[in-house]
Amino acid sequence: MINPLDLTGKTVMITGASKGIGRATAIYLSRLGARIAAVARDAEQLAKTLSLADSGNHHAFPFDLSDVEKIPAWMKEVAQATGPLYGLVHSAGVVFNRPLKVLSYKNIADMQRINVDAAILLTKGFKQTGVYEKEGSSIVYLSSTAALKGKPALAAYSATKGALISLARTLAVELAADHVRVNCLCPGLVRTQMAAELNDILPRENLDKLEDEYPLGIGSPEDVAYAAAFLLSPAARWITGTALVLDGGYTAA
Ligand SMILES: NC(=O)c1ccc[n+]([C@@H]2O[C@H](COP(=O)([O-])OP(=O)(O)OC[C@H]3O[C@@H](n4cnc5c(N)ncnc54)[C@H](OP(=O)(O)O)[C@@H]3O)[C@@H](O)[C@H]2O)c1
């Protein structure tokens, strides 16, 4: 029996792999046979992610992505340790839920740096000779339904997630000749620490209202991992420049 999602022998770098969506993605990709290069700042939590993965030749690379200018040189070192990368999932992200009145420039710059600037530099790093697999490879950015549907207090975050959709479209065209596909995932609300922080600031009745907006309920990190696996896999070989919405019907309602 064939498995169209099979990633046996392929190395995938996952940023934000110390928790939430990045961790679930790393674990699921390992079950599909991928070798994981797990990235985040917290080395202990990265080790925990790898302990939950199916056995394989996985690596953890603790790194602070806010050092954006260092990313391309660092990725060369990563590829020397792992061999060429087949895939990249940029799941590391930062959100500040702040109404415009209290949104600081530092908040905006911090989100822009990790959500967007790091995505660009990671892709630039990926595209270096010897760092990526030349026969075909796949990049996935974690955008959000926040890029598609307005919500108060999320203006700057939404702008960073919208930028990722533009980035994927443009780089899909630029990198097609090199057989590198570039796509976005746009999840709605997913139960992770990031979502828990939103819970902390929303009054109970608002949270209930939020859940009501999801015909299939709020998502789990695994729901996003499955979609990431699809976009990475050879089954998606004709898909590039797209933004796949996974939101339990939130934007359809
Ligand atoms: N949860 C949702 O409802 C939801 C919905 C739509 C889209 N998304 C997007 O999905 C992605 C993952 O979200 P999540 O809910 O899994 O978030 P999360 O649980 O808060 O995890 C964020 C991850 O980003 C890493 N990270 C943050 N700053 C970093 C830095 N400077 N350098 C390296 N790594 C850094 C964190 O690792 P360390 O702290 O160890 O560095 C952590 O692994 C984000 O891009 C988010 O915007 C989330």
Nearest to 12 by CA among 173, 168, 126: 126
Identify the DSSP state of 132.
B
Q: Is residue 203 part of a domain?
A: no
How many domains, the chain? Answer: 1
CATH of the domain at 156: 3.40.50.720
Q: Which residue lies with its CA nearest to atom 42 of ligand 1?
A: 16
Give the position, in ligand 1's atom list, of the atom nearest the Cα of 65: 32
Q: Is residue 130 part of a domain?
A: yes
Q: Is residue 58 part of a domain?
A: yes
Give distance in angstroms: CA of 77 to centre of ligand 1.
23
Which two three-digit tokens encode residue 94? 């930062």
Q: What are phi and psi of 110, to 5 degrees?
A: -65, -40
Q: Which residue lies with its CA nearest to atom 13 of ligand 1?
A: 21
Residue span of the structural domain in which 177 resides: 11-189+221-239
Q: Which residues lie with the beta carbon below 6 Å from any ligand 1 atom?
A: 15-16, 18-22, 40-42, 45, 64-66, 91-95, 114, 142, 144, 187, 189-190, 192-195
Q: Is 226 a catalytic residue?
A: no
Q: Which residue lies with its CA nearest to atom 19 of ligand 1?
A: 20
pLDDT of residue 65: 99
The three-state secondary structure class of 88 is strand
Q: Which mean pLDDT values do the consecutive 10-residue runs of the chain (253 residues) have?
A: 94 98 98 98 98 97 98 98 98 96 98 98 98 96 98 96 98 98 98 79 76 94 98 97 98 95
Cβ-proximal residues to 142 (8 Å cutoff; 6+ apart), any chain: 16, 21, 89, 90, 91, 93, 164, 184, 185, 187, 224
Q: Is residue 93 part of a domain?
A: yes
pLDDT of residue 95: 96
Angle at 193 between CA 191 and CA 199, to 5 degrees: 75
